[in-house]
Amino acid sequence: MSKLRFRLQPLLDQRLKAKQEADEALATREKALRDEMETLSMLERKEIESRELLARTRRAVLVTSGEPISANELHNRSNRVLFLKERLGKDLDAVFAQKLAIEDAETRVVEARRRMIDAKREAEILEKYRARQERRLRAELERKEDLELDEIGTVVHLRNSRESGSHT
């Protein structure tokens, strides 16, 4: 049986490679998104810790053991509160920036998924075309084989008819 020489095989190979690369790119983008989400979780925990420390420090500024607080001690406590407020502000900024990074990563995942779907569709179209070509070739070969068998049968029948006619 003759084998199909698919003329578009190089193009199909290219499409299959593009599909594989798109799959890998999608996996990479999804991993990057998961990493960004983990970073956000860590930054949110850090923000919560900063809020709690600031709240405890504020309460400590107001609480005294009944003894008067020196101006220097009050100044130190106030500076500590200001430092913690600044740190909380930086933590809030980091969380906000990370949320923007996550939005960007999500956009890249959506785009990679779209490219993967397109590459998959293009490869499937060519694979279906090749399968249709193979079916046509098989059908043509079967038709030719059937014709050859019919011709052989006719020749055998005619020979048998002649032989049986000449013996009578």
| Mean predicted lDDT score pLDDT of the chain | 91
144-149: long-range contacts, CB 8 A cutoff, minimum separation 24: none
Q: Are 18 and 119 in contact (CB under 8 A)?
A: yes
Q: What is the pLDDT of residue 64?
A: 67
Q: What is the pLDDT of residue 151?
A: 92
> Average of pLDDT values for 129-144?
93
Q: What is the pLDDT of residue 61?
A: 76
Q: Are 15 and 123 in contact (CB under 8 A)?
A: yes
Q: Are 70 and 47 in contact (CB under 8 A)?
A: no
Question: C-alpha 16: how far from its chain's center?
Answer: 16
Q: Is residue 138 scored above 70 in pLDDT?
A: yes
CA distance 167 to 56: 122
Q: Is residue 168 scored above 60 in pLDDT?
A: no
Q: What is the pLDDT of residue 99?
A: 97
> Average of pLDDT values for 132-158?
92
> Average of pLDDT values for 110-115?
97
The angle formed by the CA atoms of residues 118, 116 and 124, to the nearest 5 degrees, is 55
> Average of pLDDT values for 58-77?
79
Q: What is the pLDDT of residue 94?
A: 97
pTM as predicted: 0.71
79-110, pLDDT tens digit by residue? Answer: 999 999 999 999 999 999 999 999 999 999 99
Which domains, ranges and CATH numbers included, belong to the chain?
9-134 (1.10.287.1700)
